[in-house]
């Protein structure tokens, strides 16, 4: 079954084709970072208009890269939420129109389920694909959640951020220290030059039971340290390293608690912050110490992309699930409300 996946939830236009028999056939991604950089953040109206300009050319390119035409498609999957409503409607409208014209089924995919399943998208040569039950850490600019995955489509929220998501805290901290947009990757790169232990910040909410997160206080600590420092380049790198270490260790502690609470030995990690090399190394080491494993998508599939939507949609379409012909999106959407794959 060849499924076209379309992702337009925010500021990246992603398209992919996934074959349920052979795997990922092609994918393409266009990022709007340069468009939004002068504003210091995403402008929803500009994002929607850019999706309109870029989506159809990307569909054509992806099909050409896969050696396919539209008539070879057996289904269409698109991000239906959560996300920016205007951006979501662009992808949903194109997907529904294409499915109607081809007389093939279409399905709206939950954006975070796409991220959650991204580590299963490609086979791990050494360990194979992780199988439920497992614990998933979804960590991005908009979300920081721990989820018990009992089966595909059956999710139980264990804990989430009470304020800033981890990626949001990276971006805001970078902006406070004068780094250019988007700040998170810039801060992580700067931290590579920082001295470990030169600045030590708290590991928020790890001194009490529970699996929720909070990063706003950590951000404030960094701001105070930055204002009291000499603000030289080396100091900026040291503060960046201290901040990154605090976030990574906090996430590792909470992930260990989640594995204990569920009795699982497998952790999957997805979302933009999942590309952070220090976080990947720390969680892999933590899982190995427990006799388990930590699985990640390749870095290109940590950020928003069409491949994860094509894969998640293919699983549901293959199970016989599909939506009606109306164009519907859900800017807010509880993942616990999703239907289980396979009943």
CATH number of the domain enclosing 307: 3.30.420.40
- The span from the CA of 278 to the CA of 151, in Å, is 29
Is 228 found in the same domain as 272? yes
- 229 annotated to bind ligand: no
Is 328 found in the same domain as 225? no
The answer to whether residue 92 sits within a structural domain is yes
**pLDDT at residue 276 is higher than 60:** yes
- The span from the CA of 308 to the CA of 181, in Å, is 25
User: What domain range is 18 assigned to?
Assistant: 2-117+301-337
Phi-psi sector, 4: left (phi>0), alpha (psi -120 to 50), beta: beta
The pTM assigned to this predicted structure is: 0.95
The answer to whether residue 124 sits within a structural domain is no
Is 285 found in the same domain as 182? yes
The answer to whether residue 343 sits within a structural domain is no
**pLDDT at residue 192 is higher than 90:** yes
- 138 annotated to bind ligand: yes
- 202 annotated to bind ligand: no
Is 139 found in the same domain as 280? yes
- 139 annotated to bind ligand: yes
- 171 annotated to bind ligand: yes
Is 278 found in the same domain as 156? yes
- 141 annotated to bind ligand: yes
Tell me the C-alpha to C-alpha distance, in Å, between residue 284 and each of 33, 96, 279: 30, 40, 8
- 276 annotated to bind ligand: yes
Is 305 found in the same domain as 289? no
pLDDT at 128: 86
What's the per-residue H, E or C state across 141-185?
CCCEEEEEEEECCEEEEEEEECCCCHHHHHHHHHHHCCCCCCHHH
- The span from the CA of 195 to the CA of 212, in Å, is 29
- Looking at the structure of the chain, the number of domains it has is 2
Averaged pLDDT, 18-45: 96
Is 318 found in the same domain as 292? no
Tell me the C-alpha to C-alpha distance, in Å, between residue 105 and each of 97, 111, 136, 330: 11, 19, 29, 19
pLDDT at 229: 96
The answer to whether residue 204 sits within a structural domain is yes
Is 325 found in the same domain as 191? no
């Amino acid at each position: 079954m060849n499924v076209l996946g379309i992702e337009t939830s925010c500021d990246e236009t992603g398209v992919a084709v996934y074959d349920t028999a052979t795997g990922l056939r092609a994918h393409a991604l266009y990022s709007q970072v340069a468009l939004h950089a002068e504003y210091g953040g995403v402008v929803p109206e500009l994002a929607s208009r850019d999706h309109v300009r870029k989506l159809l050319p990307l569909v054509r390119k992806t099909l050409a890269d896969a050696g396919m035409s539209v008539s070879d498609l057996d289904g269409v999957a698109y991000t239906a939420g959560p996300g920016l409503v205007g951006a979501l409607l662009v992808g949903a409208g194109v997907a529904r129109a294409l499915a109607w014209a081809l007389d093939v089924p279409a399905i709206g995919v939950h954006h975070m389920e796409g991220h959650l399943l991204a580590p299963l998208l490609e086979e791990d040569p050494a360990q194979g694909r992780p199988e439920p039950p497992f614990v998933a850490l979804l960590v991005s600019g908009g979300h920081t959640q721990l989820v018990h995955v009992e089966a595909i489509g059956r999710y139980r929220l264990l804990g989430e951020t009470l304020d800033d998501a981890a990626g949001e805290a990276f971006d805001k901290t970078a902006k406070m220290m004068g780094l250019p947009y988007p700040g998170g990757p810039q801060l992580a790169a700067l931290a590579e030059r920082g001295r470990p232990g030169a600045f030590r910040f708290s590991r928020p909410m790890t001194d009490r039971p529970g699996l929720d997160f909070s990063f706003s206080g950590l951000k404030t600590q960094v701001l105070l340290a930055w204002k009291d420092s000499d603000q030289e380049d080396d100091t900026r790198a040291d503060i960046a390293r201290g901040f990154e270490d605090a976030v990574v260790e906090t996430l590792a502690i909470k992930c260990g608690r989640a594995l204990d609470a569920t009795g699982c030995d497998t952790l999957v990690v997805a979302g933009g912050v999942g590309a952070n090399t220090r976080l990947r190394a720390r969680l892999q080491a933590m899982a190995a110490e427990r006799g388990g494993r930590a699985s990640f998508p390749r870095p290109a599939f940590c950020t928003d992309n069409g491949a994860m939507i094509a894969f998640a949609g293919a699983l549901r379409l293959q199970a016989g699930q599909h939506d009606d012909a109306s164009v519907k999106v859900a800017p807010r959407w509880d993942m616990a409300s999703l239907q289980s794959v396979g009943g």
